[in-house]
Amino acid sequence: MPEDTRRAGNGTGPQQDEPSTQPWRTEGLPPRQSPPKRPGWIVLVVLLLGYLVSFAVLTVQDRLNGPQAVSYTEFKTQVEAHNVAEIFTRGDSIEGSLKNEAPIPSETERKYKQFTTERPTFAVDDLLGQLTASEATVRATPVVQQRGVIANMLISIAPFLLLVGFYVWMFRRQRAAMGGGLLGGNTSKRVDPEKVRVTFEDVAGIDEVEAEINEIVDFLRNPQKYRRLGARAPKGVLLTGPPGTGKTLLARATAGEANVPFFSASASEFIEMIVGVGASRVRDLFSEARKVAPSIIFIDEIDTIGRARGGARSFGGHDEREQTLNQILTEMDGFTGGEGVVVLAATNRPDVLDPALLRPGRFDRTIMVHPPDQKGRVDILKVHTRKVPLGPDANLEQLAAATPGMTGADLANLVNEAAFLAARRGEDAVSHRNFTDSLEKVQLGAARSVVIPEAERRRTAYHEAGHALLGMLLEGADPVRKVSIIPRGRALGVTLSTPEADRYGYDANYLRGRIVGALGGMASEQEAFGVVTTGAESDLETVTRIARSMIGRWGMSERVGKLSVLPAEGDPRMAGASDAMLNTLDDEVRRITDECYEGARRLLRENRGKLDRIVEQLLAKETLDEDEVYAVAGLKRRHIETSLAPPRISADGRA
């Protein structure tokens, strides 16, 4: 789901003081001072340098304080001078000490007392007799004390310690890469609550949803008020609705309004290739939430792991997705109702969720978050323009009226595009023209600089003029807001029609009018040039979709009857539709489209003069706004009480 909107902030999400290896983010936990973490390779380098320095120091110390290597001749001289105190021999190697210091033969300024030498194998002297005569002690143990026990141990085990440290570092990196949930949990990362708190002041356009969610906020604030009457908080609340309607923002605002910790995660972040990782992460998440209860857990896109079990992709019920779902069901079932942990979840597809998730005791409530109405869009625009300097002519009410069907995410993007446009134009404030130009870009696409032959421009002008004229002539049609033959996106021209007000139900006459208007471009080309081009591709897709829905889903055909033949997705035969019924549906769709096409051609023939005037003005100006196109056609606008909610765009899609 795209990021939920309707807030004044930049929507970057929770900010954390330190990187987390957990698949969830937290808000509202008490800040905790954590020591700065150093990368593992720095620690290894420091340990290695320490080992090398210690080894070098001990080696130099041994060289300076250890026994002096002397020649055998020098040793014999000291023996004859009766200056040898004691010796230790091993084979032909001799170590010992003198009674008095003697100068080193090659360095008269330095003296030595401890020495080491090698006795030549060809020597034939009575060394033991000479040593005994000089009263020297001949020992079987070393005379010179070697390196200390601690130093020897340090040098001997240091490489092993470095190797162990390296493996520990690699082990931690691997566990962090797997999210920390496979081999034990991690403590929750603390976040400064002042940086991430969102309240209902940042939410607009869904007042009826706020009223429902306020009960949960009140329970988290005053749990004793409900517990004394035996009431318990809902264990789970499922937020459903189209993308961009504010489900994630509403969950964060609920936690911010109740001033409790907030744990948020996307369901897909629990899933790993290794079975059991997701279940472990779910256990860690719920454990952390219970420690700081009362708290809120929010799981976004729960249909990723919450789909009904037993499908074709399940392997005996032991795949990772089902393991994770089973753990969520177990954790929610373990709530006593007095723990103060509430689970919020969001999805665009509530119809695919497992029934075990939706039963009472788990997700007790389902709240539908609809796209905002006109008043809601005004409130949302006010939220998003808090930090945007508006020009004196900026009219948010008029802008909201021109954006039916837009969600909070769409409106946030519209405000951002308008601010970008004003900055590029070097303006100090965002004017109403910036908003309208940005709306045109969002709805119609960016204009293309392409050279089109004159014959092609005239054909495009007749195509768009046909859409516009039929939109102005048909009773109940949406008013025409703009007609243009400037190429935008993949289209060579566009006609924009938006309603006067929101409407949530459609009758057959209105839908037939929509089909007539969509076929107006093709009919206009047929009347003017006697040919049909590929420019009507997107129009025909719209016509087919509306006609098939009228017959197969909304029961607007006497032959098919009051039946729903076409499922929302999949093969209708799998839903029980017979081949005869589908053939009848196709015949009815063809009948409706043929009748509407003939009606479009008849209206254009009767108003050919108006059509030609619109074409000439389009060729001259390339773009006609609402007032201009009605003036050129010589028609007055009809103020309609209600009309279709989403805007209608007819585009000439010739590439």
Q: What is the DSSP-derived secondary structure letter of residue 187?
A: P
Determine whether 64 is exposed, middle or buried from the number of CB atoms within 10 Å of its CB (0-12, 13-18, 19+).
exposed
Q: Is the N-terminal amide bond of 294 cis, ω within 30° of 0? A: yes
Residues 6+ apart with CB under 8 A from 607: 469, 473
Q: Please name which of 180, 333, 197, 187 lies closest in space to residue 252, comparing C-alpha atoms.
A: 197
Q: How many CB atoms lie within 10 A of CB 59?
A: 13
Reading the block at residue 153, the tokens are 């141990």
Determine which helix (DSSP H) or strand (DSSP E) holds 46, and give its type and residue range: helix 40-65
In the Cβ-directed half-sphere of 86, how many Cα atoms lie within 13 Å?
A: 9
Dihedral in degrees, nearest 10, Cα atoms 552, 558, 560, 565? 30
What are the φ/ψ torsions at residue 540 (nearest 5 degrees)?
A: -65, -35
Per-residue HEC secondary structure of 88-154 comes to EEECCEEEEEEEEEEEECCEEEEEEEEEEEECCCCCCCCHHHHHHHCCCEEECCCCCCCCCHHHHHH
The residue annotated as part of the active site, out of 27, 288, 322, 464, is 464
CA atoms of 297 and 285, how far apart (whole Å): 8
Rounded (10°) angle between helices 520-529 and 454-473: 130
Say whether 464 is catalytic.
yes
CA atoms of 594 and 591, how far apart (whole Å): 5
Instruction: Name the residue with tokens 């976040």.
Output: 191
Contact 270, 281 (CB under 8 A): yes
3 state DSSP class of 604: helix
Residues 6+ apart with CB under 8 A from 608: 527
Contacts of range 445-453, beta carbons closer than 8 Å, 24 or more positions apart: 445/488, 445/489, 445/490, 445/491, 445/494, 446/488, 446/489, 447/486, 447/487, 447/488, 448/486, 448/487, 448/488, 448/489, 450/487, 452/487, 452/492
Catalytic residue list: 464
